[in-house]
Structure 1
Amino acid sequence: MSQHLKNGQIFPDLKIPALGGGALSLPGDLAGSYGVILIYRGHWCPFCNEQMAAFANASDALSQAGIKVVAFSVDDEAATAEFVRKHRIPFKMGHSANVETVIGATGAYDMQVPTRGHFLETTGFVLAPDGTIVNAVYSSRAIGRLVPSDVIRLVAFMKSSVK
């Protein structure tokens, strides 16, 4: 069984195919800023649609707070592209994540459903500018996930306590 990542650990190196080519390179793509990594179940999940729409709608506030966001799932590139278009997602998105690789690196939960295949359960991380984890949220089912307002408040608190 894979271990969950803990606060204070450096987020492990993870490469996920990026929408439009190349790869999300984590935690490197977030280096120098507070960052959010969102692992979502898939385009078909209503809770994921709500979460991703919320982060897309909060993108200006997140940017003003100095927070970068990336997200990925096991969805293929075509489904991810449609998901991005539907929600006007402005941040980097990954697709076609390998379930076993992500579980091995992060300890995320997974699920196998005949009608949906093998996918990752919702998992979220808030990283400090040096790539250390300041908050990890693991869900074993559809609910329980990061929301933009909490992330912004957490980062504001983290910044104020550093001074």
Structure 2
Amino acid sequence: MLYTNKLAADSPFPAISLPDLQGQQHVLGKTREGASWQLVIIYRGKHCPLCTKYLNQLEGYKSQLADIGVDIVAASGDSREQLQEHAEKLNVSFPLTYGLTEGQMKELGLYISVPRSEQETDHNFAEPGLFVINEKGTVQVVDIANNPFIRPDLEALVNGLSWIRNPENNYPIRGTAPY
């Protein structure tokens, strides 16, 4: 039986630094451009057409997320060369990072898959994960999937984050009751 350690809501988000194609390092969960929260998207890699579609759709919500103080960064275990090829199919302006290691995938509690063939990819890869990190550096929202078909609806996510970010709602981090 397979056991994994999932990153819990309200836990500190690990400091993972990854490069983008311009050579800039991005610390996942550390906001930029004046945002106080960050949406971290972990995607399978260039071999996944559903990831390409999801990332391109996410671009359409970037300004709404910026309006509520949420920055975006995406990461995969792909190599620099794989991201360069994938970037040709992507129309996004948020940072895309590469080189997420298996150890880092495990630290995030992600499901990891073995490629079905060399045509799929040349390395084990993370299945999708979505993390929203708040101003304290802790996990506010977490969604971890074991396949590419299950992902949060972006409109629902953005509307929910807008509601959470409204101070009048005083909405706590959910899922923190002890077992």
Whether TM-score is above 0.5 comes out as yes
Identical pairs, percent: 20
Cα offset for 1:120? 0.8
Q: TM-score, normalised by structure 1?
A: 0.88
Instruction: Name the CA distance, whole Å, in 2 between partners of 1:24 and 1:102.
Output: 16
Q: Does 1:146 align with 2:148?
A: no
Which structure would you say has the larger RCO, counting Cα contacts within 8 Å and 6 or more residues apart? 1
Q: 1:63 to 1:84 in 2, by over 3 A?
A: farther
> What is the DSSP-based 3-state SS (H/G/I as helix, E as strand, rest coil) of the residue aligned with 2:131?
strand
Tell me if structure 1 keeps the 8 A contact 2:105–2:112. no
Q: Does 1:19 align with 2:21?
A: yes
Q: How does 1:23-102 map to 2 (within 5 A)?
A: 23-29=25-31, 33-102=36-105
Cα offset for 1:79? 2.5
Tell me if structure 1 keeps the 8 A contact 2:37–2:70. yes
For residue 108 of structure 2, the aligned residue among 99, 106, 114 is 106
Cα RMSD of the aligned pairs, angstroms, is 2.0
Structure with a larger share of its residues in helix:
1
Instruction: Name the CA distance, whole Å, in 2 between partners of 1:155 and 1:26.
Output: 18
Q: Which runs of 4+ in 1 moved over 3 A?
A: 29-32
Cα offset for 1:146? 3.1
2:175 equivalent in structure 1: none
Instruction: Name the CA distance, whole Å, in 1 between partners of 2:52 and 2:21.
Output: 17
Instruction: Name the CA distance, whole Å, in 1 between partners of 2:154 and 2:164.
Output: 15
Instruction: Name the CA distance, whole Å, in 1 between partners of 2:134 and 2:156.
Output: 15
**Structure 2, unaligned runs of 5 or more:** 172-179
2:136 equivalent in structure 1: 130
Instruction: Name the CA distance, whole Å, in 1 between partners of 2:49 and 2:86.
Output: 12
CA displacement, residues 18-74 of structure 1 (integer Å, 9 cap, x when unaligned): 221132212224585221100100112121011101111222222223211000111
Instruction: Name the CA distance, whole Å, in 1 between partners of 2:135 and 2:31.
Output: 11
Report the number of matched residues: 162
> What is the DSSP-based 3-state SS (H/G/I as helix, E as strand, rest coil) of the residue aligned with 2:7?
coil
> What is the DSSP-based 3-state SS (H/G/I as helix, E as strand, rest coil) of the residue aligned with 1:142?
coil
Corresponding letter in the other structure for 1:66? G
Corresponding letter in the other structure for 1:97? L
